[in-house]
């Protein structure tokens, strides 16, 4: 008996979702390099590592002499309703405008990312941003990663959130703390210090619910 889908690690769930979707669309399984790019895995060697673990768990079978030699077993079936397609609507980076995505922006997004619904829960209000910069490296969010955001104007102290600074026309991804009429925006990088903004000049655009590593 193989593992249930929910027992796979997060990267393995992403790989399983990507393989399933790819086969649905193309009729053949993806190559290791396609899995690396499509599932956001750091390297082809890490893809091979996860595939071997999934093979031991009887989630899939591999024919190593074939470039497309992957066969998903029956036990952990992934259905399309188990996959969330989240639009990538822009970039989150200090010192660059990033208006809150509205319904038109979400509907018109040209790029998207696929992720298991089990990782994000309710898909309503989700959108994705590409991270530029290294202010959140200690939160394991690196330059080039994708953050899955949930549109929300309220966050709890310590939440990772996208904040639009209305008086500066700038956006930033930081850990947020409310202190009276101010917000403390804390980077997760030991070389950077927190800074404070007036709450009336800060608009919460959403909070981070999941990170897709690409570096």
Which active-site residues does the annotation give? 135, 174
Q: Which two tokens stand for residue 110?
A: 């040209």
d(CA 60, CA 105): 37
Pairing assessment for the beta strands 126-131 and 83-92 based on DSSP bridges: parallel
Q: Nearest 10 degrees: CA dihedral of 9, 37, 89, 111?
A: -120
Q: DSSP character for 133?
A: S
Closest CA to 176 of 192, 155, 205, 153: 155
């Amino acid at each position: 008996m193989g593992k249930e889908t929910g027992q796979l690690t997060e990267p393995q769930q992403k790989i399983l979702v990507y393989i399933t979707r790819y086969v649905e669309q193309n009729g053949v399984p993806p190559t290791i390099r396609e899995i690396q790019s499509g599932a956001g895995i750091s390297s082809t060697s890490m893809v091979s590592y996860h595939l071997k673990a999934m093979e031991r768990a009887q989630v899939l079978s591999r024919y190593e002499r074939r470039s497309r030699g992957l066969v998903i077993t029956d036990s952990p079936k992934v259905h399309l309703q188990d996959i969330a397609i989240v639009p990538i609507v822009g970039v989150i980076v200090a010192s660059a405008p990033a208006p809150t995505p509205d319904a038109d922006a979400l509907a018109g997004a040209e790029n998207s990312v696929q992720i298991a619904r089990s990782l994000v829960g309710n898909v309503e209000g989700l959108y994705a941003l590409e991270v530029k910069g290294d202010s959140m490296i200690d939160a394991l969010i690196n330059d080039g990663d994708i953050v899955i955001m949930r549109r929300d104007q309220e966050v709890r102290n310590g939440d990772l959130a996208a904040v639009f600074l209305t008086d500066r026309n700038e956006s930033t991804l930081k850990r947020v703390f409310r202190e009276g009429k101010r917000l403390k925006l804390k980077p997760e990088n030991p070389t950077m210090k927190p800074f404070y903004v007036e709450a009336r000049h800060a608009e919460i655009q959403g909070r981070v619910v999941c990170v897709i590593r690409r570096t």
